[in-house]
Amino acid sequence: MKQTRQFMKRSAALLLALLLSLSLSVSALAAEQQEKSLEETAREAAAAAMTYGEAASVSWAVWNQGKLVSGALKAPEKEGGAPEAAPADALYGIGSISKIYTTAAVLRLAQDGKLDLDKPVTAYLPDFKMADERYRDITVRMLLNHSSGLMGSSMGSGLLFDDPSTQATDQLLERLAGQRLKADPGAYSVYCNDGFTLAELVAEAVSGKDLMDYVAEIFLNPAGLTDTLAPARMLERDGDRAPIYQAGDDRPLPMDCLGVVGAGGIYATAEDLAAFGACLALPGELNEASLKAMAQPEYKKGLWPKEDAPDALAYGLGWDSVEWFPFHQNGITALVKGGDTQYYHAGFVVLPEHNMAAAVLSSGGVSTYNEMAASQMLIAALREKGVTVDETAPALPEAKPAAMPGELLENAGYYGSLLPYKVDLTKDGTLTMGYLGMEVPPQTFSYHDDGSFRDQTGTSLLKFVKESNGQTYLYQRAFSQLPGLGGLGTSNYAAVKLPENPVSPELQAQWDAFANGTSVLPMNERYSSQVYLAISGAPATETVSETAPGYEGALKIADENRLEYVVQIPGNVGRDGSDTELRRDEKGVLWTYSSNGTVCMEESAVPGLSTGKDNRARCTIQPDGYARWYSVEDNTAGKTMTVQLPENAGFWVYDGDMKLTASSVLWDDRSAELPEDGLLVFAGDPGAVFQLAFQ
């Protein structure tokens, strides 16, 4: 059923939690600037973000020197209708905007002399160890500016439904102990969730308090922000949250719980989040030196493109960008953070010089659209103060088609990022770029006299850059505009040329066969994990006709049992790396172990479900805590299974196309008809016993 590569893609997409859309596929002429009020602009911008992102609802708030303007919309009941008014006080998951609260907590502790940002993490977490001696060089600052060199996201059992477990945070040090670094600490900034979970642990170790308790004491309570909560507290207010949905299903899902609170687990109303911006604008709980430190361009300390063009990322401490378009181009400091869970998306923009902030939160949608909507709201607020913001789109540098130098042909080959792709070059200066393993038409660019390759529209370009670390990067630059939301620049390294890795034809064939023919299932995810829903509906097959020699996807083939992550790219597309190891147990069953802690077993080893002698059976979770998977055989298909659930446990049922048909976690099912060729999984705490009856 689910092929290895497909499962890894789906679960990786889930664990990113926080993806930013760095270049928008929608391109249109910018809307003419109109003299609209803040309220009008806010509603229209929020509606645009909701429409483009196909969100179920959106809530927004603007903090303007102590005054709040807020509102909310929900998607129309009938297709083609206008967005409808919604309660403005709903709570939303703010995803990675939680990192700003963690950053503020760490900076306050530093401000009080209780920690030093430039001391090693080991000074505060003596149990922090890794299978890579360079870990000793990781400082607290590197956690906050994404330059620690950590692989990225060791968040297994961290994205849950209706379950405030902090297992993912509690197990982080244990998971990191077996990992290596993907880069030298401080070499470059690349988005890293684990860094902020570590920062959460540092803050708790130094303060002696739970992170949210400390944040509430220092920031929230003095400001009267009572609608900012961790998942455990949110359970008490579940009726106040904005509902979430799976695409194509109008049944609300249970509460979205992230067990990595400091990296992405906080809930808030738009008003509370916007008002929190006041703590980040003017000296108060954080003094002027701390606020200035947050806003420094930390990304410049390491490898980064040297082009002077707007991009969605320009890391400060905690912030995704301290140089956000169009404010930076107008001499206005704008601090921006996006946040994503699998179901909530958020944008947060603070203008410290004007004591303004805007928050746009949505159920469904895209965080980048929300950030752009928040920007439009603040532009309107500035306009009411008599401050004009020029939103003119930056043009590409002038250049003309030219003959391509022959030496550039050596840049052709295979490149890696989140996914691999192939770059072809011809002597006439044509560059063709196509993703491997994806049904996406290749893009074509032509050489120009400034060394760039440009598309036919002349709105985007690529360049090859040989960096100081000796690696060749593919730089991309473009600018997209959306009516009602303004513009967003792209100026980053899209990929790095994969180092040659010659392997024998036999070894390559072995790994190709594994990737294209071996289906695996997650074994160590908590019963409430969102992974069980994320793998629903995965295609039955996925054959990749071409791959980079010596690689599977973007992972380097090390030997017959190991794949290694080798991609080193600053920004966002080099995030969330992981090594993979294959092992066979004493029964010959194949298992995959990822360095981020994910454990999977080949599907072919799944036993058939037995109904017992009297149509009664039991399933017991073993001491290892691994999930128990079963296949539906011909003699059980069509029967109805009734389940007596133990505590802290759940089951999920899939049909022959791996589409979810029943779940005790999502829909409180206690029985299910067993589908032909289906699969089912029982998961829970070690020792949990499921009593099963069949009709």
Q: pLDDT per residue over 372-383, tens digit each?
A: 999 999 999 999
Q: pLDDT per residue over 88-116, tens digit each?
A: 999 999 999 999 999 999 999 999 999 99
Query: For residue 544, what pLDDT is reported?
Result: 59
The fold of 406-497 is: Lipocalin (2.40.128)
**Does the pLDDT of residue 604 top 80, yes or no?**
yes
Q: How far is CA 508 from CA 6, 413, 547, 561, 566, in A?
A: 19, 18, 10, 12, 17
Q: Is the pLDDT of residue 18 over 90?
A: no
The percentage of the chain sitting over the pLDDT mark of 90, rounded to a whole number, equals 88
Is the predicted pLDDT of residue 426 greater than 50, yes or no? yes
- The three-state secondary structure class of 642 is strand
Report pLDDT for 546: 80
Side by side, the strands of the sheet bearing 649-654 are 628-631, 679-684, 649-654, 660-663
Handedness of CA 204, 208, 211, 214 (dihedral sign): negative
What number is the average pLDDT over the span 65-73? 96
* pLDDT of res. 419: 85
Give the mean model confidence (pLDDT) for residues 141-160.
97
Residue pair 193/263 in contact by the 8 Å Cβ criterion: yes
User: Is residue 79 scored above 90 in pLDDT?
Assistant: no
Asked whether this chain's domains 91-265+282-350 and 406-497 adopt the same fold, the reply is no
**Statement: residue 392 has pLDDT above 80:** yes
Q: What is the mean pLDDT of the chain?
A: 93
E strand residue ranges, 177-280: 228-229, 256-258, 267-268
Residue 120: asked if its preceding bond is cis (omega within 30°), the reply is no
Every domain of the chain and the residues it spans: 91-265+282-350, 406-497, 616-694
- 91-265+282-350: CATH architecture: 3-Layer(aba) Sandwich (3.40)
Reply yes or no on whether the pLDDT at 2 is more than 60: no
Left, alpha or beta for 113 (phi > 0: left; psi -120 to 50: alpha)? Answer: left
Across the range 72-99, mean pLDDT stands at: 91
Partners of 360 in the β-ladder: 60, 347
Q: What is the pLDDT of residues 489-507, one digit of tens each?
A: 999 999 999 999 999 999 9
Average pLDDT in the 141-161 region?
A: 97
What digits encode the pLDDT tens for the residues 330-367?
A: 999 999 999 999 999 999 999 999 999 999 999 999 99
Does residue 39 register a pLDDT over 60? yes
Query: Tens digit of pLDDT for each residue in 112-124?
Result: 999 999 999 999 9
Percent of the chain scored above 70 by pLDDT? Answer: 94
Whole-number pLDDT of residue 543: 58
| pLDDT for 539 | 61
pLDDT surpasses 80 at 35: no
Q: What is the mean pLDDT of residues 64-75?
A: 95
Amino acid 36: pLDDT: 86
The model's pLDDT over 515-556, given as tens digits with 9 standing for 90+, comes to 888 999 999 999 999 999 999 987 644 555 688 999 998 999
Among the listed residues 338, 334, 336, the one whose alpha carbon sits nearest the alpha carbon of residue 353: 334
Mean pLDDT of 262-282: 97
